[in-house]
Structure 1
Amino acid sequence: MRHSLPIAPQFYVTAPQPCPYLPGRMERKLFTALQGEQADKLNNGLSKQGFRRSQNVLYRPSCSDCAACLSARIDVAKFRASRSQRRTIRRNDHLRRRASSAWATEDQYDLFRTYLDARHADGGMADMDVFDFAAMVEETPIRSRVIEYTNEETRDLQAVCLTDVLDDGLSMVYSFYAPDVPAQSLGTYMILDHVEIAREAGLPYVYLGYWVPGSPKMGYKASFSGLEVYRHGAWEPFKHKDAYSADTHPMSTDPIAEQVANISLPDLRA
């Protein structure tokens, strides 16, 4: 099935498949290709409307059963680290950050495999080989960076995040980390450090991907102050998690054609 706008790009919908976040649900995605000289403009414009990048594709959930997946971002100016988050920062003061171009390495892949085997052995990425991993990192038509976190004493790679640089913030596309040091809360630490990177760069937001009410996998995102979610066509300050239970109802979804018609495209003619 294809739905197109009067001007490029064209939008498509994936076939339904089991939802990875809510049991018994089926997911679909609305997506478009990310390519050409205007890829940055398109990525910037659609990221502000709840889309996420995966290699050369921009996508947004478009499920028939619910509208639970809400794109989430941190307003850097409003963020204040909690006591627990400040402890996480201190616990990881031995890590050193290094940013580089989007280029995959063997050390990254080894850590990626260790992370998947320990945390997501039955997930959709479990069978990714080194070539799939390289494609995930390197197939980007926009300004992307690999942020590595290395133990200063042992020189071991501890955490990695593939990060896109948008015109209004940083988008954490995918992150993984050493699973054998849970006390370090490395996933949380990378988010906290990206807030700091954005602050240093004068960028107002850190995009975290999707927050899903009722999904334990996504619950941690609600712990960050300054959080906003994209809902009903606009960004709004995050309320209590129970305020979004209605979004899991089948009547909360709009028709596909209406969703596409309401997408605001940047001017791609220049």
Structure 2
Amino acid sequence: MRHSLPLAPQFYVTAPQPCPYLEGRMERKLFTSLQGDSAEQLNNSLSKQGFRRSQNVLYRPSCADCAACLSARIDVAAFQPSRSQRRVQNRNSQLERRASSPWATEEQYALFRRYLDSRHADGGMADMDVFEFAAMIEETPVRSRVVEYADQDNNLVAASLTDVLDDGVSMVYSFYDPTLERNSLGTYLILDHIEIAKSANLPYVYLGYWVPGSPKMGYKSRFSGLELYHGGNWEKMRDARAYDATTHPLKSDPIAEQVANITLPDSRAPRG
């Protein structure tokens, strides 16, 4: 089914499929294509409204009877590292950060495969081949970077595909060496992106979705300064137990209403 607004991007809904975060749930996504001269503006605008980018598509969960998935971002000015997070920073202080244009390499893919096979062997990306990986990295119509992290022997140990928004950086997809468990590289990547945003005077780091009740997403709630897109607005995260993951047929607004409430960028406005 197609939903659209006059002179605006067209929005579509995916068919229901098993939820990767909460067992027994079905997920559905609202999405639109990201292309043309206004791609940058659209990515900036919809990212502020809970959407995420995957190649040339912007999407947001739109499940029929569940509203558990909440887009999450860190307010850089409000962030204060915990004692354990400072230890993670110190433990990885020898890593070299190197940022480049979004270009896939064999070394990245080898690391990506080790990460998937260890952490997400039954996930939706488990069968991704080198050509699909290259498309994920390189097919971007917006400002993107690959941020790599190398050890003292110049071995790649972590990487993040990162979009540069007008109000922050968005971590589109991250992966790292699963054998370096003690280094807590997933946490370190977020901590370092907070530093990247801070040095660029950008106020937010967008993390994707936080899902109450999902162990896979629990780590995001451990960052101070976390904000959630809830009820059409960003709010400071309250106690994690205050967010409801139960299903109900009235949890989600009708698709047409969701689309009508999306704020789109003014195509006449000058671009930065």
Report the TM-score range of the alignment, normalised by the length of the smaller protein. over 0.9
User: How far apart are the structure 1 equivalents of 2:17 and 2:185?
Assistant: 30
Q: Residues 169-192 of structure 1, C-alpha deviation per residue, up to 9 Å, x if partnerless?
A: 000000000000111000000000
Q: Residues 206-265 of structure 1, C-alpha deviation per residue, up to 9 Å, x if partnerless?
A: 000000000000000000000000011100000111111166443221111110010000
Cα pair distance change 1:248/1:211, threshold 3 Å: farther
User: How far apart are the structure 2 equivalents of 1:155 and 1:68?
Assistant: 41
Counterpart of 1:218 in 2: which secondary structure? helix
Counterpart of 2:71 in 1: which secondary structure? strand
> What letter is aligned with 1:172?
M
Q: Residues 106-163 of structure 1, C-alpha deviation per residue, up to 9 Å, x if partnerless?
A: 00000000100111111100000000000000000000000000002x2110000000
Task: Work out the percentage of aligned pairs sharing the same amino acid.
Answer: 75
Residues 1:140 and 2:178 aligned together? no
Unaligned runs of 5+ in 1: none
What is residue 157 of structure 2 aligned with on the other side?
158
User: How far apart are the structure 2 equivalents of 1:217 and 1:249?
Assistant: 23
RMSD over equivalenced CA pairs, Å: 0.9
C-alpha displacement of 1:269: 4.1
Contact 1:96 / 1:149 at 8 angstroms: preserved in 2?
yes
**TM-score, normalised via structure 1 length:** 0.98
Structure 1 outlier segments of 4+, above 6 Å: none
Contact 1:42 / 1:268 at 8 angstroms: preserved in 2?
no
Contact 1:246 / 1:252 at 8 angstroms: preserved in 2?
no
Name the count of aligned residue pairs: 269
Equivalent positions of 1:120-131 (< 5 A) are: 120-131=120-131
Equivalent positions of 1:1-270 (< 5 A) are: 1-152=1-152, 154-245=153-244, 248-269=247-268
Contact 2:76 / 2:197 at 8 angstroms: preserved in 1?
yes
User: How far apart are the structure 2 equivalents of 1:135 and 1:231?
Assistant: 32
Contact 2:213 / 2:245 at 8 angstroms: preserved in 1?
no
Cα pair distance change 1:172/1:247, threshold 3 Å: farther
Contact 1:25 / 1:65 at 8 angstroms: preserved in 2?
no
Unaligned runs of 5+ in 2: none
User: How far apart are the structure 1 equivalents of 2:246 and 2:207?
Assistant: 19
User: How far apart are the structure 2 equivalents of 1:249 and 1:121?
Assistant: 31
C-alpha displacement of 1:7: 1.9
